[in-house]
Amino acid sequence: MKTRKLGLSGLEVSAIGLGCMGMSDFYGHKDDQSSTDTLLKALDIGINFWDTADMYGPHTNEQLLGKVLKESGRRNDVVLATKFGIKRDDEGQFLGVSGHPDYVRQSCEDSLKRLGVDHIDLYYQHRMDSTVPIEDTVGAMADLVKEGKIRHIGLSEANAGLLRRANTVHPITALQSEYSLWTRELEDEVLPTCRELGISPVAYSPLGRGFLTGTYRNREAFEENDWRLTNPRFSEENFQRNLALVERVEELAESKGCTTAQLALAWLLHQQPDLVPIPGTRKVSRLEENAGAVEITLSNEELAKIMQDFPKEMVQGSRYPEMAMRLLNQ
């Protein structure tokens, strides 16, 4: 597996990470055995950058990773990233966001316990809290660095102004935000700011929550409780129109002898050398398929063709339901 360096800190991770959210939440039924196999296989093939958050489950995703780390004894093989800041009750109901310094500290202690580790390699604020100055939140995270509880600091879905302010308090290693062929808002202001400040983009939902793989051809493909059925891009009205865009890149993937998922990830890897996509899967076969994206080279002509075939203005529907949209890019 190829590696990439995040931020100015020298943190080295696999060029493709592993998103663990869908193993416990949002995308239908759980299969802990298959997820465990996937996590272990990831380490065997060098995918060492695992991504979780306290709110996935809630809590059960960190517990799953903690169990796998404990039973395998492979903690030192993993660059472990988790997040705090989105509050949910035990039933999963959304309770708001918090960047309060006391909340930062308590969340970190809780995550360390659930993960069964003595430090977190990369700790992100999951959503920005407009009621707490970013300097206070990042200040509390910087204290955790001094105490050795976390190694590096990241933000998720922060706008360029907040990134700049946060970075004056403590170097920000990574910005984790949604970035893929169908979600490209970052390109205007946030990515140039990341490049200027030496902050690496970590692209979440790089496969468009699975849509960009072409595997899902209609809404019936999802289980009844799948969160994607509430996402505007997957609505009755928008699904087929968005699928028509995917079909165009499917043709290019076929001509290159790769899968559509691999093409979508390779496109991201070509955007800048310190960007790391973190596709999520519960299945070993898909993990291996996604890992293969690092071997794909796209020429300038092919990159231009992808942009031509998949114009961002043609994507139908916002990337989150309305309430969740309000928490983004603050």
Ligand X SMILES: NC(=O)c1ccc[n+]([C@@H]2O[C@H](COP(=O)([O-])OP(=O)(O)OC[C@H]3O[C@@H](n4cnc5c(N)ncnc54)[C@H](OP(=O)(O)O)[C@@H]3O)[C@@H](O)[C@H]2O)c1
Using CB under 6 A as the criterion, what x/- string covers residues 94-133 for binding ligand X?
--------------------------------x-------
Tokens, residue 234: 């997957």
- Total residues in contact with ligand X, by rule CB under 6 A: 29
Strands 3-6, 11-14: parallel, antiparallel or unpaired by DSSP? antiparallel
Residue 162 CA to residue 165 CA, distance in Å, equals 5
Query: What distance in Å separates the CA atoms of residue 322 and residue 235, rounded to the nearest whole number?
Result: 13
51 lines the binding site for ligand X (CB under 6 A): yes
Catalytic (active site) residue 56: yes
Among 117, 153, 261, 268, binds ligand X (CB under 6 A): 261
Give the bridge partners for 11, in sequence order: 6
**Residue 272: closest CA among 7, 23, 85, 26:** 7
Nearer to ligand X, 117 or 175 (CB): 175
| Spatial distance between the Cα atoms of 93 and 96, rounded to a whole number of angstroms | 9
Q: Which is nearer to ligand X, 55 or 146 (CB)?
A: 55
Closest approach of ligand X to the CB of residue 45, in Å: 14
> 27, 56, 124, 179: which is the annotated catalytic residue?
56
Q: Which is nearer to ligand X, 250 or 289 (CB)?
A: 289
205 lines the binding site for ligand X (CB under 6 A): yes
Distance of CA 151 to CAs 1, 39, 143, Å? 23, 22, 11
Q: Given the rule CB under 6 A, which of 20-28, 109-117, 142-150, 233-241 is the region that contacts ligand X?
A: 20-28
**Cα–Cα distance measured from residue 316 to residue 20, given in angstroms and rounded to the nearest whole number:** 27
Number of residue whose CB is nearest ligand X = 19
| Cβ–Cβ under 8 Å, residues 214 and 248 | no
Residues near ligand X (CB under 6 A): 19-22, 27, 51, 126, 156-157, 176, 204-210, 213, 215, 261, 278-283, 286, 289-290
Please list the active-site residues: 56
